[in-house]
Amino acid sequence: MTKRASDVSASPPRRRSKYTLAPLVLIAANVVLFALFFLWPAVIGLVYSFTNYTGVGAFQFVGLDNYQKLLGDSTFYAATTRTLLYTVLFVPLNFVLSLLIANVLVSKHAKGASVARVFFFIPWLLSPIIVGVLWRWLFGENFGLVNYLIEKVGGSAVPWQSNADLSLIVVVVAAAWAWTGFSMLLFIAAIKNVPTSYYEAAALDGAGPWRQFFSITLPSIAPTSFIVILLNTIHAMKEYAVFASLNNGGPGTSNNLLVQYIYQTGFKTGQIGYASAASFVLMLILMVVAMIQMMVNRRVENR
């Protein structure tokens, strides 16, 4: 039946070019939105990055001055390395936590999964601002629950707020905690889509749960893993709100990430041109990251 159906539509590239109108109608709305709210600002942003525009009045083209200034700007370097460090810590932690939880939730052996998953999902419903407030409340140096418990068992108060690295770690944990629900949702859908016959066959051949996980689940959900890693990387690179409410990029400016840097140079000090240049550097980093991930993904899928 299927065989004959594809024979009828004959020519080898069977879906190509036969249908152009229908798909264009389907994507029309998004194309308009894309042109208005992405292409247009991206183009004027690129233009401004070569100017000394301050948001009002006239501006002059200054060539590559903004980019040259960026290369020599130690604040920009600090923000970039801090952003990359944050991403490198956040993405794997979130990936492992959400995959673990998704597997436990899907498992037939865990009792009460339908109630427990609410616990994992609620943090994701909180806004980044509130996540920051909540963890600031937990990790306050003088008043937080965590330091209180540490002192209770005989430790000394940990400087969660005044030590830059500890402060970053608190944000990483807070963000991984808050974002588990989202990644978990994608993983659960993917795991449920793996045909159960694979597991039955593997069980008959004597494969244990670990073997089943690494040989069946993980390869089967590879496309979802790719999406989760890609989305989380991008999410981490543009993080701002959690930092803003948790430690306001502090102590001092030690945890200022790129978006905060762009926001402050663009809107606080009005250097739109300079901020636009920084935006494009961030975009370049994101593009490189995405290309590497796509290449890896393609290689995995082809294997």
Partner 1 sequence: MTTTDTLRKVDADSVPAVSRKRPRGAASGGLRRAIPATTLLWVLAGLYGVPVLWFVLSSFKPAGDLFSLPLTLFPDDPTVSGYKEAWASANFSQYFINTTIVCVIATILTVGVSCCTGYALAKYDNKWLKAFFVCILATTMLPAEVMLAPLFLVVRDLGLYNSLVGIILPALLTATGCFMFRQFFLTVPDELIEAARIDGARELSIFLRIMVPISRPIMLTLAILSFQWRWNDYIWPLLMLNDPEKFTVQIGIQSLVGAQNINWSVLLGGSVISMVPLIVVFLVFQRYVMNADINAGLKD
Map residues 227-246 to x or -, x wherever contact with partner 1 holds by CB under 8 A.
x--xx--x---x-xx---x-
199/238 Cα distance (integer angstroms): 39
Nearer to partner 1, 84 or 116 (CB): 116
Nearer to partner 1, 24 or 296 (CB): 24
**Residue 127 interacts with partner 1 (CB under 8 A)?**
yes
* CB 59 to partner 1: min, Å: 12
296/185 Cα distance (integer angstroms): 23
86/8 Cα distance (integer angstroms): 54
Q: Which stretch binds partner 1 (CB under 8 A): 62-70, 75-83, 119-127, 154-162?
A: 119-127
Q: Which residues have C-beta within 8 Å of that of residue 134, sequence separation ≥ 6?
A: 126, 174
223/282 Cα distance (integer angstroms): 26
Measure Cα distances from 261 to 14, 47, 164, 239, 256 in Å: 50, 20, 17, 11, 6
State which of residues 33, 64, 157, 300 lies at the interface with partner 1 (CB under 8 A): 33
**Residue 217 interacts with partner 1 (CB under 8 A)?**
no
C-alpha triplet 85, 132, 258: angle, nearest 5°? 35
**Residue 41 interacts with partner 1 (CB under 8 A)?**
yes
Nearer to partner 1, 67 or 124 (CB): 124
**Residue 109 interacts with partner 1 (CB under 8 A)?**
yes
Map residues 136-175 to x or -, x wherever contact with partner 1 holds by CB under 8 A.
-xx---xx-x--x---------------------------
**Residue 10 interacts with partner 1 (CB under 8 A)?**
no
* CB 192 to partner 1: min, Å: 6
Nearest in space to 79 (alpha carbons), one of 292, 273, 285, 232: 285
* CB 19 to partner 1: min, Å: 6
C-alpha triplet 246, 247, 249: angle, nearest 5°? 120
